[in-house]
Structure 1
Amino acid sequence: MKMTTVFLLITAVLTALIAGLFYAYSCSVVLGLGKLSDTEYLKSMQSINREILNPIFFLSFMGTAVLLPVTTFMFRGEQPAFLFLLLGSLAYLIGVFGVTMAGNVPLNDMLDKFNIGEATTEAVKQMRDRFENRWNLLNNVRTVFSVISIALVICACIWNRYQPE
C-alpha cells in the first residue's frame, strides 16, 4: 500500500469521527439538552464544554485540520482525487474548524465564565438566550460542513481505489 493511501485512510477516519461527533450533537444531544431547565441546561453545557477538551478530541479535531491539507498536498497532480481533497479541506478548515474557533469557542468561553450559582433566575435565562440558539446554529453549520468534507474525502478514497498502484 502506498504512503499516500495510508494518509488518505487515516484522514478519512479522522474526518468521519468529527463528522459523527457533530452529527450526533445535532440530532440528539442538543435536542435532549433543549428540554432541560435554564439552570440545568447551562450547567450541562458548561460540563460538556469542559470535558470535550481532552487529548482524544484534540487528536481527531486538530488531526483532521492538519491531515486534510497534508493529504491534499500528497495527491497534487492526481485528478480528481486532489480536487475532492482540496474541496474537503476547504469545507473542513472554513466550515468546521473556522466556525468552531470563531463562533463556538467564544460562546463556550463566555458560558464558562458565567457563575450560575451566583446568578439570578433572570440572568440565567438571559445567558441561555444569548448562548443556546447561536451555539446550535453554529453547530448545525459545522455539522453540514463536516458531512460535506467526509463525503468529499470518501470520493477521493473511491477514486484512489481504482487508480493503478
Structure 2
Amino acid sequence: MTTVFLLITAVLTALIAGLFYAYSCSVVLGLGKLSDMEYLKSMQSINREILNPVFFMSFMGTAILLPVTTFLFRGEQPAFLFLLLASAAYLIGVFGVTVAGNVPLNDMLDKFDINSSTADAISQMRGNFENRWNLLNNIRTVFSVISIVLVICACIWNKYFPE
C-alpha cells in the first residue's frame, strides 16, 4: 500500500513540477512579448482558468499526499528523509510561495479593470505584476523540481533497497 501512495505522490509532484517548468520556459516568455493590455488580459484569463478541479487535484493533492506518504515511510531510512525533504520543499517553496506570493498578485490583477483604465495605469499594473509574478513562479519551479527529484530518490531507494 505504501508503494501505491509513493507512486501517486510521485505522479502528482511531477505534474506540478511540469506545470511550473512549462510556465517558466515558455508561457511567461510568450506572454512577455504581448502589449501591456494583451498581457494583462491574458494573465487574467489564465489565472481564472487554472482554478479548476484538475489543477487543484495535482496542486492540493501533492500538498496532502507528500506529508501522508512521508508519514507512511517513517522508520524506512533514507526514503523517509527524502520524502521529508520533498515535503518541506513543496510546502514551503511551492505551496507557501503560491499562497503568500502568486495568489495575492493574481487577486490584485483580477480586480483590475483593464477596459476602463488608462494606458499609464495598465503599464503601471503590468510593472507591479509581471516581474514579481515571474520571479515567484521561478522559485516555485525550482522547489517543485527539487521535490520531484527527492521523491524519485525515495522511489529508487524503496525499489532497490527495501527495508
Q: TM-score range by the shorter chain?
A: over 0.9
Match in the other structure for 1:97: 95
Residue by residue over 1:38-77, the C-alpha shift from the partner in whole angstroms, topping out at 9 and shown as x without a partner, is 0000000000000000000000000000000000000000
Deviation sequence 1:81-133 (CA, Å, 0-9, x none): 00000000000000000000000000000000000000000000000000000
Give, in whole Å, the separation in 1 of the partners of 2:149 and 2:48.
30
Q: Which residue of 2 aligns with 1:12?
A: 10
Partner of 2:20: 22
Which of 123, 136, 139 is the equivalent residue of 1:138?
136
Within the candidate set 20, 32, 35, 1:34 is matched to 32
Counterpart of 1:50? 48
Runs of 4+ more than 6 Å apart: none
Output the TM-score relative to the length of structure 1. 0.98
Paired positions, count? 163
Displacement of 1:163 after TM fit?
A: 3.3
Q: Distance in 2 between matches of 1:121 and 1:54?
A: 31
In structure 2, the gaps of 5 or more residues are: none
Normalising by structure 2, report the TM-score: 0.99
Letter in 2 for 1:132: E
Structure 1, unmatched stretches of 5+, are none
Look up the equivalent residue of 1:50 and give its one-letter code.
R
Partner of 1:160: 158
* Cα distance in structure 2, aligned partners of 1:25 and 1:163: 36
Per-residue deviation, 1:36: 0.1
Question: SS of the residue aligned with 1:97?
Answer: helix
C-alpha RMSD of the superposition: 0.7
